[in-house]
Amino acid sequence: MTRIAIVTGGTRGIGEAISVALKEQGMTVVANYGGNDEKARAFTDRTGIEARKWDVGDFDACQAGCAQVAEEVGPVDIVVNNAGITRDGTLARMSYDDWHEVMRVNLGGCFNMAKACFPGMRERGWGRIVNIGSINGQGGQYGQVNYAAAKSGIHGFTKALAQEGAKAGVTVNALAPGYIDTDMVAAVPEPVLEKIVAKIPVGRLGRAEEIARGVAFLCSDDAGFVTGSTMSINGGQHMY
């Protein structure tokens, strides 16, 4: 049976690698994205995976987008909540909008997508939700109270929802990446990045494919006994 997966923010960076890994695992993948049509088109040309645009921070847009996928592609078995943004700054410089937008997209997106897809998974007796957290949600990070709070919230959200899905065959897990070589990390100033890499025991940034392999495992039938967990893939930077 072919499983149907939605990967939010699935058209570039870590999300692209996840979309490709799930496709390679035999799943039918729909990659959601937020607004960059050009990158989405290039992604579809590269991978043959369909891309659909909606804002994961918008409750109604998630309802509509997921209903359309269900109608046109089939019932959604797997959701990977990967879409994420940063609006960094110290608390003194961070505006209310910077706070709210990161909460809306990064944490609100998980709620909105689960509201749209989790009930159907439960009814059908099988489902997988993987929420992409962050090492900075586990340990905090200077200049990221918004991002760290949203990502930390994802870890709590995961453990709570896992309890609601467990008896119905729906697993809910988080994956917390360390620093991965994507556009998001390219935005970090070079001197700051050098200091970060110096703290990674394996001595390098991670690759998107290394995260994608972990997600592919959590989405597989083999991972049916794994739920409410956080898989850390971070080169040894955070070990507890």
Query: Interface residues with ligand NDP (CB under 6 A)?
Result: 8-9, 11-15, 32-36, 39, 55-57, 82-85, 105, 132, 134-135, 177, 179-180, 182-185
B/e letters for 11-39, b = 16+ CB within 10 Å, e = fewer, are: bbbbbbbbbbbbbebebbbbbbbbeeeeb
- Give me the catalytic one of 96, 147, 179, 240: 147
The rounded radius of gyration (Å) of the Cα atoms in the chain is 17
How many CB atoms neighbour CB 204 within 10 A?
A: 10
User: Measured from the CB atom, is 161 or 215 closer to ligand NDP?
Assistant: 215
CA separation for the pair 83, 106 (Å, rounded)? 7
User: Measured from the CB atom, is 101 or 159 closer to ligand NDP?
Assistant: 101
Mark whether 179 is an active-site residue: no
How many CB atoms neighbour CB 58 within 10 A?
A: 16
Provide, rounded to whole angstroms, the least separation between the CB of residue 166 and ligand NDP.
Answer: 25
Distances, alpha carbon 202 to alpha carbons 4, 116, 177, 197, in Å: 35, 39, 14, 9
User: Measured from the CB atom, is 110 or 121 closer to ligand NDP?
Assistant: 110
User: Measured from the CB atom, is 63 or 124 closer to ligand NDP?
Assistant: 63
Provide, rounded to whole angstroms, the least separation between the CB of residue 154 and ligand NDP.
Answer: 9
State both tokens at 84: 């994420």
User: What residues are annotated to the active site?
Assistant: 147
